Amino acid sequence: MLHPEFAKIIEISKKENCLVALSTNAAVLPKLPDSFDASNIGFVKFSMCGFSQASYDKIHRFDFDRIKKNIEIIVRTFRQHGFVGEFYIYFHVYQFNLHELQAAYDFAKTLNIVCHPVFAVINDWEKLKDFLQGTLDREYLNNVARDLLTGVGMGNLKPTTRCPMAPNLTIDADGRCVLCCLVDEDLGDVFEMTPEKWQRLHSESATCRECMQLGIPRLEFNAMTVDMEQLARAFASR
Ligand code: SF4
């Protein structure tokens, strides 16, 4: 959404018959021409770090009222421009914002969009690795213990041999391929990449091997989504 040619990217993807999924924290509104066609956007995910200014002061540091307003504008504008997909609020669950979840649900209901809670996790591969290996520095660990629901969000990660993120071609803003959205290891120019090369680089990657051994890919395909029973237990234990 930050890209100055956002509308052009959507237009080209439409011409190429590509469905698009967008993820945004709604801090910036994209510039859209009158001719903007949102009909090939399958879903839009709004990441929210809570539902109060106090929570936003802790994490995203944005003006919370502005974010709500921007979400309303994006939902309305995209629908006016042919969007028929699904909007989701990805509510990042921290210990300090559990009580704000209901307000986020109520807000989502007014816009007829989905509110989907997900456990906040350490979003830094190196630090996450240190946490799982028990080598995270004490000060950071204290913050993690205070803010995150570590047991349910990042606990019980077992080794895996599969990563759902590995097949996704990940490109940075300079057109360079990177290992995945968690690890920005440079894999070369996108115009020199082929599907075979992409697959080989991942299957030979020492980083991927270590990552799968630690079970980190499981965060993506199971641990991130909030199980409502787990959430109820987390509430009860506070
Ligand atoms: S295994 Fe880990 S490092 Fe490799 S693509 Fe998956 S998440 Fe990224």
Q: Is 218 a residue whose pLDDT tops 80?
A: yes
Strand partners, 177: 171, 188
Residues 94 and 134 in one domain: no
Domain span at residue 25?
1-120
Q: pLDDT-derived band of residue 96, with 50, 70 and 90 as boundaries?
A: very high
Residues 86 and 154 in one domain: no
Q: Which of 120, 146, 172 is the last residue of a domain?
A: 120
Give the per-residue pLDDT at 196.
97
Closest CA to 56 of 110, 22, 100: 100
Handedness of CA 53, 55, 60, 61 (dihedral sign): positive
Domain count, the chain: 2
* C-alpha separations of 62 from 65, 68, 73, 119, 159 in Å: 9, 11, 17, 20, 37
Give the per-residue pLDDT at 76.
98
Residues 9 and 111 in one domain: yes
In the reported structure, the alpha carbon of residue 125 is separated from the centroid of ligand 1 by a whole-number distance in angstroms of: 9
Q: Which of 89, 120, 151 is the last residue of a domain?
A: 120
- Mean pLDDT of all residues in 93-107: 96
Q: Is residue 233 part of a domain?
A: no
Pocket test for ligand 1, best of 178, 216, 221, 224 (most atoms within 8 A of CB): 216
Give the per-residue pLDDT at 153.
66
In the reported structure, the alpha carbon of residue 150 is separated from the centroid of ligand 1 by a whole-number distance in angstroms of: 20
Give Cα 223 distance to the centre of its chain. 13
* Residue ranges around ligand 1 (CB below 6 Å): 163, 165-166, 179-180, 182-183, 202, 207-208, 211-212, 216-217
- Quick: pLDDT tens for 13-24: 999 988 888 999
Task: Give 145-199 as a DSSP string.
Answer: HHHS-HHHHTSSPPP-S--TTTTS-EE-TTSEEES-SS---EEEEGGG--HHHHH
Residues 163 and 180 in one domain: yes
Full-model pTM? 0.87
In the reported structure, the alpha carbon of residue 53 is separated from the centroid of ligand 1 by a whole-number distance in angstroms of: 34
Q: Which of 105, 120, 135 is the last residue of a domain?
A: 120
